[in-house]
Amino acid sequence: MSEAENVRKTETVPAWKQAEVDELVDFLKRYDAVGVVGVTGIPSRQLQAMRRELHGKAEVRMSRNTLMARAVEQVDDGLEQLAAEISGEVAFVGTNDNPFGLFKQLEASKTPAPISAGEIAPNDIVIPEGDTGIDPGPFVGELQTVGASARIMEGTIKVTEDSHVLDAGEEVSEDLANVLSEMGIEPKEVGLDLRAVYADGVLFEPDELAIDIDDYRADVQAAASAARNLSVNAAYPTTQTVGTLLAKAAGEAKALGLAAAIENEELVPDLIARADAQLRTLASYIDDEEALPEELRGVEPAAAAEATEDDAQDDEEDSAAEDADADADADADAAEPEDDSDDDGDDAGDGLGAMFG
């Protein structure tokens, strides 16, 4: 055969193959994320069940490996990186979810399955303690042969303790496969094993997608809280922190107004309360009650006198900082400086009136 004839024969592609490649290309272009999954050892019935479970979330498409490889190379655009994963029994999986969501869905779709002789144990195999429900007979010897502690008790075969019969990575013998099948023990999981997925210009490996969602969420929340706290301490206003900053500024302004004894409509009740507290404290140090008005005889020092203007300011700042640390999503408009002295306004007026007529 001449070289020209050989090239023509190589370039000739049957119509059905080209049609299949075209369908695969359409599949690859239809989804935001496309991956390759292993389907080795999955019975047809379970594979169909997995497809039904993924319906509406992801789609599985099987074909010949050579046609799948040609399809990813034809699409190019980065998907050709998946060609290295197309070997053995595989299929395409496509989804408009993110790769992490796809991985989680595929892991959730896996189901327990029996293991056959000659297969490699994916995990340690343990025959659990308990009643097998099997009548006395040769099966007790089969259990003992594979390494299980078993005996006949009360008319039935019982496993007397949890029995480790095979290590992960070892080959399953025919005897062990028969025992496990008889007891209904399914030591392996079958499902769509994601080999790689391509999305947003990035090829993700399975170990990159197997993240702990709760830990990840906690890390994000901690980062958001730290960022909010930094914004508040640096007085950098954002949509999330401007309310807290205004509340902090209001508290500092109030503390300054009290320290400077500025007569303001909002501060007058506090100023009067403070003056009354100072008056009562002073009165408590005078031993000669005859020198005091009757209303001030025997009074105790007011608690308000123990707090200074600096303390008031510190309290306001601490309150704002704690609010920033506590919850990054809290509504900062709800943070208002506390006014503990309004209830003392009437009493304060009475005390000053008694002193000065």
246 vs 278, higher pLDDT: 246
Which of 42, 80, 75 lies closest to 60, judged by CA? 42
Q: Say how far apart CA 276 and CA 357 lie, in whole Å.
A: 14
Domains of the chain from N-terminus onward: 3-110+191-211 (3.30.70.1730), 125-185 (3.90.105.20), 215-356 (no CATH)
Q: What's residue 23's pLDDT?
A: 95
pLDDT in tens, 73-89: 998 778 999 999 999 99
Q: How high is the pLDDT of residue 147?
A: 93
* Residue 21: burial class (beta carbons within 10 Å; 0-12, 13-18, 19+): buried
Name which of 70-84, 136-150, 185-199, 269-283 the model is least confident about.
269-283
27-36, 218-227, 273-282, 344-353: least confident range? 344-353
The percentage of the chain sitting over the pLDDT mark of 90, rounded to a whole number, equals 41
Q: How far apart are CA 62 and CA 88, in angstroms?
A: 12
The mean of the pLDDT values for the chain is 80
d(C-alpha 115, C-alpha 124), whole Å: 13
**110 pLDDT exceeds 50?**
yes
pLDDT of residue 111: 82
Whether 121 has a pLDDT exceeding 70, the answer reads yes
> What is residue 156's predicted lDDT score, i.e. its pLDDT?
92
d(CA 183, CA 278): 85
User: Is the per-residue pLDDT at 291 higher than 80?
Assistant: no
Check whether 21 has a pLDDT greater than 90: yes
pLDDT tens digits for 304-322?
Answer: 444 444 444 455 445 544 5
- Tell whether the model's pLDDT for residue 270 goes beyond 60: yes
pLDDT at 118: 92
Reported as a pLDDT band with limits 50, 70 and 90, residue 300 is low
| pLDDT at residue 276, rounded to an integer | 81
pLDDT at 326: 47
**What is the reported pLDDT for 287?**
75
Task: Note the pLDDT of residue 161.
Answer: 94
User: Cα–Cα distance between 103 and 55 in angstroms, integer?
Assistant: 15
